[in-house]
């Protein structure tokens, strides 16, 4: 039986220990690049590199990796079939998929995430200079590997200018909310599939979502949510009306804001500077909904790496909004929701299966 990745605890490495990574890719060039990029990090050890799923499955018991990077398209046994076998044989083993930035690659990535993959990295072009390829791999893949592990030797990060308080405040209703704003990252597609399809037909508020994903993937995400949801789900477009019962997903590489035009609310997209290394950014959306709905906002932050949404939640809370975050036990990564909870900004910290009941209670739907 497949065990959802959200139920797998983050690994804890012993002091001085390294994260053991097995690389699986049919391209010898990619295997070389991955090995070279990863082995330069002092916290990571590459324990093997295999060309297909059959070889990888044979190798895993021999090298006991903590994480596998897994190409999707491979001969003999492709990445999806390999992932299925990994989840059966080694359910606690972390997996990061490699996929292309194409519709086909995006569809396969969503299938992998539904099968229990923890995260993915989009492959860029292999035609550029070697040093650029290495830099891109280091900047994207290494943080994604480390997000699943606690490294005791690493200095603890601190949230600046925000007081550390109790995790959960007493339960209260929000100011009659007029909009739901959701921010999510790593593990987000699975979390959203557990939330959006469960919202009932006739849900009385608009829902705006920022999911950290490339452009092609956000469109596919909206289509997947629409296929199982009684509400209308679309990838947002500039000028699109924001109306009750409609779910809008920010397109990849665009910030999504709200603009008030003639008494109506519409989507405003832009490619302004990245915030928290993200575009779209949750903070951008949260600030915008606060400005346009005067704090009558129900904000939800679920699983994800980093702290995007923290500053935006602080702005919303100062205006009287309600903050709901996913708990650590059901998050793939408790970075984004955890930063809000630890700063004392969460009105409620709830497991994934309680997000919708809490939301419906708050809007009296």
With vertex at residue 236, the alpha carbon angle to CA 235 and CA 241, rounded to the nearest 5 degrees, is: 130
Domain 5-150, classified CATH 1.10.1660.10, yes or no: no
Residue-wise DSSP of 126-161:
SSS-HHHHHHHHHHHHHHHHHTTEE-TTSPPP--TT
Q: Which residues are catalytic?
A: 185, 212, 308
The CATH 3.40.50.2300 domain(s) of the chain lie at 5-150
Q: Where do you find CATH 3.40.50.180 in the chain?
A: 179-363
Output the pLDDT for position 223.
Answer: 95
In total, the chain counts a number of residues equal to 365
pLDDT digits (tens, 9 = 90+) for 137-183: 788 899 999 999 887 654 444 444 344 333 344 455 557 999 999 99
| Mean pLDDT rounded to a whole number for the chain | 88
Whole-number CA gyration radius for the chain: 20
Span 254-309, pLDDT tens digits: 999 999 988 899 999 999 999 999 999 999 999 999 999 999 999 999 999 999 99
Its pTM stands at 0.87
CATH topology of domain 179-363: Rossmann fold (3.40.50)
What average pLDDT does range 76-105 have in this prediction? 91
Q: What is the pLDDT of residue 10?
A: 46
Q: Is the pLDDT of residue 105 over 90?
A: no
CA distance 20 to 46: 6
Examine the pLDDT at 2 and tell me if it is beyond 80: no
């Amino acid at each position: 039986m497949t065990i959802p990745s959200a139920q797998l605890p983050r690994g804890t490495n012993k002091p001085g220990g390294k994260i053991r990574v097995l690389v699986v890719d049919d391209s010898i060039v990619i295997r070389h690049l991955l090995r070279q990029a990863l082995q330069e990090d002092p916290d990571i050890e590459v324990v093997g590199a295999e060309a297909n799923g059959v070889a990888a499955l044979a190798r895993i018991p021999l090298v006991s990796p903590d994480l596998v990077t897994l190409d999707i398209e491979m001969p003999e046994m492709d990445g999806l079939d390999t992932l299925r076998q990994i989840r059966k044989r080694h359910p606690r083993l972390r997996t990061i998929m490699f996929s292309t930035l194409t519709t086909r690659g995006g569809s396969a990535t969503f299938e992998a995430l539904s099968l229990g993959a923890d995260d993915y990295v989009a492959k860029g072009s292999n035609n550029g200079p070697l040093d650029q390829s290495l830099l891109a791999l280091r900047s994207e893949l290494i943080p994604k590997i480390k997000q699943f592990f606690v490294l005791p030797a690493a200095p603890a990060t601190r949230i600046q200018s925000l007081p550390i308080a109790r995790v959960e405040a007493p339960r209260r209703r929000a100011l009659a909310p007029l909009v739901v704003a959701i921010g999510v990252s790593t593990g987000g597609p699975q979390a959203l599939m557990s939330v959006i399809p469960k919202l009932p037909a006739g849900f009385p508020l608009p829902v705006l979502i920022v999911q950290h994903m490339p452009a092609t993937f956000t469109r596919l995400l909206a289509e997947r949510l629409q296929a199982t949801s009684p509400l209308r789900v679309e990838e947002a477009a500039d000028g699109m009306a924001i109306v009750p019962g409609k779910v809008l997903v920010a397109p990849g590489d665009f910030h999504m804001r709200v603009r008030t035009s003639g008494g109506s609310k519409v989507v405003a997209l832009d490619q302004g500077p990245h915030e928290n290394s993200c575009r779209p950014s949750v903070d951008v959306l949260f600030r915008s909904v606060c400005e346009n709905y005067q704090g009558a906002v129900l904000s939800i932050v679920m699983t994800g790496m980093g702290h995007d949404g923290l500053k935006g939640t602080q702005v919303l809370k100062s205006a009287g909004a309600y903050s709901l975050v996913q708990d650590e036990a059901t998050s793939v990564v408790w970075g984004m929701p955890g930063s809000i909870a630890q700063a004392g900004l969460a009105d409620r910290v709830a497991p994934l299966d309680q997000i919708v009941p809490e939301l419906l209670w708050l809007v009296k739907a």
